[in-house]
Amino acid sequence: MKLQKDLDHDPLDSNRYPIDLWKFSEFGYPNSESATLFSLSNGTIGVRGEANGPRNLGSGTFLSGFHETFSIRHAEEAYGFARVGQVIQGVPDTVDFKFSIDGKVLADPVKISQSVDFKAGTSTRSYTYEVGDGASLDVDIATMVCLFRADLMTTVISLRAHGRALNVHVEGKMNTDHPVVSRDVDPRKADMIADGGLRKLEVDAISRGVADQSFGAFHCLHSELTMAVGFCQQLDGKMIHEVFDVEVPDGDEKRVERFASYNSYPIDPIGIDRGLQVAIDGERNSAALISQCSQTINWAIDQGYSSIAEQQRQWLSDFWAKTDVLIDDDGDGRLQQVMHWELFQLAQATATVTNGVSAKGLSGTGYSGHYFWDTETYIVPFLIYTNPARARDILSYRYRMLPAARKRARMMSVDGALFPWRTINGEEASAFFEAGTAQYHIDADIAYAVYQYVSLTGDHEFMATQGIDILVETARMWESIGYMGFDGTFHINTVTGPDEYTAMVDDNYYTNVMAQFNLRKAADALEQLGNEDREAAVSRLGLKLDEPVHWREAADKMKLPYDEKLNIHLQDDDIMRRGPWDFEHDTERPLLLHYHPLVIYRRRVLKQVDTVLALYMLSSSFDLDSKRRDFDFYDPLTTGDSSLSAASQCIIAAEVGHDELAMKYFLESLYADVANLHSNTSDGIHLASAGGVWMSVVAGFGGLRDSGGDEISMNPRLPEQWQSLTYQILIHGSRLKVTVSHDGVDICRLSGDPVTLIVDGESRQI
């Protein structure tokens, strides 16, 4: 892959983006990526930063699960195609302000910057305006999305006068402008629809006795989802209206504190099984949402901004104390700074998650706000090892999708449940089935995450009540989609693996080996349940006694393509019959924007690692020589056009001794967003890439493996240019601090009961 930035040295301009371990700042006018890089979220509310041109893509503020729907128009119709599209819907902003002095609107600041503070959890936009007669006004707008209370965000406006006293007129009305964003040929961007969007509901909040608070309730025209927003502000301890004047003495500062609350009804995927998306009657229920907003605002007023800010700092202090990854590379701190930025994205995107986690979190409209297998494969592992309660929340949302997944399975003529490739509300929203529905491996990815979670946390209650249902229904899907061939092996045909440049193939290795894991672990999990839980599961799922026997038989006879001459695992049955890609001349990237899919499909070229990913996911199933041969064969064929690829390439490259390649791929993951390596940071962060950065460090250079919950091992491969690496993990409630240096591995148990690990091939009790 030809990167747009030279990663042999710092790809960021240190004058524009200065190095600060606990802050990421940008000095100068923002560009199209800035709104993403300085976005904030708590997993329920997301708000974008300042950008060049319109601040919002559809809006600058988003709510988890809040989306509009539209009818998908296929050029040629066929049975089973996705019919209803879903797109994240922007909601009214409460962080837009206009400032005037002497009737003149302030524009074109002489200085502008913005920053995000990883310890305070705030994003600040700063402006300096010249206002005549040698006077100037400094304006700071600091936003905080509350990490410990899902429906609250705050904004503090700081005004400083220089040269003379200034009377500043401030307009802080709710911004309800949601421009339509048209989709271009890039499928990574959002679908937007001209005839949908928000309709404002009539609400007379003042008549309800809520003085000095502004409210609005809005209803999506097609999805019929409803949300409400309210805010108030205070100056010098007194409540003021949304349009106000501030007298700022020369050399002094005035602060306006705004408290805002957003509320909507949670998405209910279970309702889809009744044949329709559960619609909330906005006219009837908006009052309840506004009431909740008002309660939260009043709570915030009683607490006071200083107290809320301190609670936010304490939340982040606890996060960093337990989750920080420390890299001693004898450098200038840039590596550690961006590592903190990546971890901060994971923290804020999952803090109060209830409706799952999308590929972009709540930082933009990329991929229409959908979430995919990224969640379970790249984000859930981070949470399992650092904040298992959040991992359970995400997996519970997948459990609530089961009715819709069963419905989708019936439509696709398979048993059990088939989870959607891309979705917000539980229904399949992918209109391109070759790289969408055909990626059946998502069932195994979710099952893998369920088993990994339970194995590493010991949460058997979750397995008995939710996890076992997912494992059983996905195992049923695999048994029904495959067949026993004349060669005596079990085949799964016409699927697409993680590599979307190789579509609709027979016996994709990753799909088959993950399905094999799924089938076996479903049978194992049933056996491991207590008698009462097993009987309840059998009754609830209508389980036949011989089903687990058939799952094991399919798993044991699974076709896993292998080339005896090359001694490599084949990505699929036909990969060696496809022609080579001309890497020397056909160099435009990403390929999907420059070549028809058929041109790509008939060649031996990969968008992202496929078989190599299996080497990491199911590490204990492969020896080191086998991993090296597979990696050496597939790595030159991989373009890395997917932001997900580099992390897995880093992990296996480190394990097999390709140290320079491992570092190259680590830096590609690390700088994917902040250096805009994939030319689409403007659409939102690559949240799975952030999870991949953590995996690259902990699993790649730290050598951590669990093979989906089996034996836990560590075989570190510390880069030569690093002095040490330190991180913490949770295993069965025991917190371990791991320090890797060139002298070896030091593991200290900080809390909990002793645990046994395999370290450098030897069993060690910690």
| Annotated active-site residue in 50, 376, 500, 655 | 500
Q: Look up residue 415 and give its two tokens.
A: 């048993």
Q: Look up residue 6 and give its two tokens.
A: 């030279």
Cα atoms found within 13 Å of the Cα of residue 515, Cβ hemisphere only: 34
Of the candidates 352, 390, 515, which has an alpha carbon nearest to the alpha carbon of residue 441? 515
Q: Who contacts 690 (Cβ-Cβ below 8 Å, separation ≥6)?
A: 342, 343, 345, 346, 673
Q: 547 and 476 in contact (C-beta within 8 Å)? A: yes
Q: Look up residue 406 and give its two tokens.
A: 């069963």
Which backbone phi and psi does 142 adopt, to 5 degrees?
-105, 120
Q: Report how far residue 373's alpha carbon sits from residue 387's, in angstroms, rounded to the nearest whole number.
A: 19
Q: 729 and 738 in contact (C-beta within 8 Å)? A: yes
Whether residue 553 lies in the annotated active site: no
Sign of CA dihedral 678, 684, 685, 686: negative
Q: Is residue 78 packed enough to be buried (19+ CB in 10 Å), middle (13-18) or exposed (0-12)?
A: exposed
The enclosing H or E element of 303 equals helix 282-303
Q: Which 3 state secondary structure label does DSSP give 534?
A: helix
- E strands, 584-680, are 603-604
The residue type at 462:
F
Bridge partners of 138? 128, 160
Q: Report how far residue 586's alpha carbon sits from residue 469's, in angstroms, rounded to the nearest whole number.
A: 47
Q: Report how far residue 388's alpha carbon sits from residue 381's, in angstroms, rounded to the nearest whole number.
A: 9
Sign of CA dihedral 696, 700, 704, 709: positive
Q: Report how far residue 417's alpha carbon sits from residue 566's, in angstroms, rounded to the nearest whole number.
A: 37
Q: 453 and 459 in contact (C-beta within 8 Å)? A: yes
The residue type at 350:
T
Q: Report how far residue 759's alpha carbon sits from residue 605's, in angstroms, rounded to the nearest whole number.
A: 36
- Neighbour count for residue 210 (Cβ, 10 Å): 19
Q: Can you state the angle between helices 441-457 and 388-400, rounded to 10 degrees? A: 140
Q: Look up residue 613 and give its two tokens.
A: 């990913």
Q: 1 and 607 in contact (C-beta within 8 Å)? A: no
Alpha helices in 15-140 (DSSP H): 34-37
Q: Look up residue 182 and give its two tokens.
A: 């048209």
Of the candidates 451, 473, 416, which has an alpha carbon nearest to the alpha carbon of residue 528? 451
**Annotated catalytic sites, by residue?**
500
